[in-house]
Amino acid sequence: MHLHKYEKVWLIFGSGSLVLFLLILGFGAFYLGTHPQSHGATIDPENIEANEAFQRENLGLTQVDDDRYIVNVVASAFNYDLGSDEEGNPVSHIEIPKGSTVLFQVVTTDVIHGFNVAGTNVNMMVEPGYISSLEVELNQTGEFTLVCNEYCGVGHHNMFATVEVVDDESGNETAAE
């Protein structure tokens, strides 16, 4: 088979860049330990309550300062645990005043789940053994659906909650419910 000189050059260039990119990817993943969103924070998925943030009473929305909130979530097939309200019912809707800085911290107790607040920049993969965390400023009012975007099993489509960003003109509305 005869290969034209330019064709050879292109083949070498093409396969060379493929190898180069794979090396860069491998270097990042295995040597630098690059990991999506988790900042390398680990947790025992069998015993998440060993971490204070994921004890039952600390789940869901917590105000930590004037315009700062933390949302701790335990994902499992097929639910996002956002804690319970006063009546003991599971929380599936949280309200956050517009302009707040929110730190989302999410763990899973079983398989890989997604954590996507559709329409915002919040989009994380939640892997067993890792704490996925992301801090965002929520500047757009509206109701956003929190969905699992990693297929996790037969009940995957039932895995959602809502995050509502509300205008905070009244001053100090209660945000956690």
- The verdict on 35 binding Cu ion (CB under 5 A) reads no
Neighbours of 107 (CB within 10 A): 29
- Here the tokens at position 56 are 């039952």
- The verdict on 123 binding Cu ion (CB under 5 A) reads no
- The verdict on 43 binding Cu ion (CB under 5 A) reads no
Closest CA relative to residue 108, chosen from 78, 75, 151: 75
Q: How many residues does the chain have?
A: 177
CB of 157 to Cu ion, least distance (A): 8
Give the whole-angstrom CA distance, residue 1 versus residue 98.
66
**Among residue numbers 138 through 167, which ones bind Cu ion (CB under 5 A)?**
148, 152, 156, 159
CB of 168 to Cu ion, least distance (A): 32
- The verdict on 98 binding Cu ion (CB under 5 A) reads no
CB of 103 to Cu ion, least distance (A): 22
Give contact residues for Cu ion (rule: CB under 5 A).
Answer: 148, 152, 156, 159
